[in-house]
Structure 1
Amino acid sequence: EERLRESASIGDIDTVNRLCDITDINSKNSINGWTALHWAAKRNHPKIVDLLLQKGADKTIANNKGETAQQLTKNVEVLELFGISEHDNLKERVNELPITPNYLANPQFPYVQNNSVPNPNANVSRNAGSIGLSNPVRSSSSVVSSATNGYDGDLVLKARVANMEETDFIEVEFDKQKFTFSELIQLLCAELNVDPKLVHKVRKLPNTIIRNDRDVYRLVNFQEIELVLSNKLKSALP
């Protein structure tokens, strides 16, 4: 039953369709009293709402706060499935806040632990309002540094030699303490078995040339890079 509610929350229609036939579609969470229909309506999944209603979901069931599923959404398509017109919806919500905080608009599923990798840009987004105009340099540097410092380990790059029969990439680990253009060249040449003297340029796919340390600093995890060799010296490859 908890799996049904979670699937309705994330919009997994196939799993919802399967679980509707083998579990209680109107079961309520013991903590907040939400049903699968509550979650589907809150997350604005009209296809899930429609499926649940067709499978016999009771739209009159209230959660522990006394809210029915239709009271948790402003989505016109979802409301129409509940038989509520846009005009009726506006009258019912005339006293609501004009702006809904994100943590209310998209509440976390109650029992799921967050084991995902942190978003490297999350802190930048949260702190944007407090930075203001008084320190624009700090704001800019935070954005740049988050691109590379968002990973705990070394930066993993995908590398190959350009214009060769072998088109597969290899993964190489770039020590974040050595974020310089010269170190990048040495690493790629060593891993790809190329003489540094043969390197004409370093290309960040699909079409950007890496020229200096600042370009290197902007690299992100699993960036695809290729060494472009001098046409005159390709035959000297080992």
Structure 2
Amino acid sequence: MDETLEMEERLRESACIGDLDNVRKLVESNGVNVNSKNSINGWTALHWAAKRNHVAVVRYLLSCGADKNIKNKENDIPGQLTSNSDILALLDGQDKEFKKPELPITPSYLANPPFPYISDQNQRMMEYQQSLPMVNRPSIASLDECDLVLKARVANSDEKDFIEIEMDRKNLKFDVLLNLLCRELGVEKKLVYKIRKLPNTIVRKDKDVKRLCDFQELELVLTNKAVSASSRVYGISDGMKTEHILY
């Protein structure tokens, strides 16, 4: 399958299952056309999000230029496929007749769940949830409401492994993140040159922090003359020798 068509199909799948993180990633990072149609049934990501009553996904797609008047092969616009009043208001579809579509095909992402393109962070969250005893197993929603889990390390050091840190979702600010990283990695704040969101994005302000997702990999890039004198102590062994970072 052509890479562009594959990305467009992933966008429709993610919209169908309500995976807002992956929808945002495909649109913002990969530049996928939000109004792309399935070649057989003519459905767009907005059709699927409306049909499955995913309010947040519908709102995001509209903010990215999704056409609420676009028709599928059955001449249905997204507002005719939803039963959610909030989505109807967003799509100005209060006077539209709700229809239960009869598709000429059943998309693979409906016939064969789970879906292959669920974002890594959601997949890991599901695996973690399933590994817990049933009596202690939280819902994915409850995990989302707690801490933001991030992976962190010092850039260009001999230690390549990440550590996991938790950040309060109610306090997603740049200064809070910087202080947290310095404390967890044992680095003096004055030695930090920048925070890098892998693979190649600098985190500079509060809005950048608010866009971070669970299990995002971050690096502290130190100043050229920085030395981590007995600072990298998050390894397992207490007898680890002091690491010096010179670059």
Measured against the shorter chain, the TM-score band is 0.3 to 0.5
Larger Rg: 1
Greater per-residue helix proportion: 1
Give the alignment's TM-score, normalised by structure 1.
Answer: 0.41
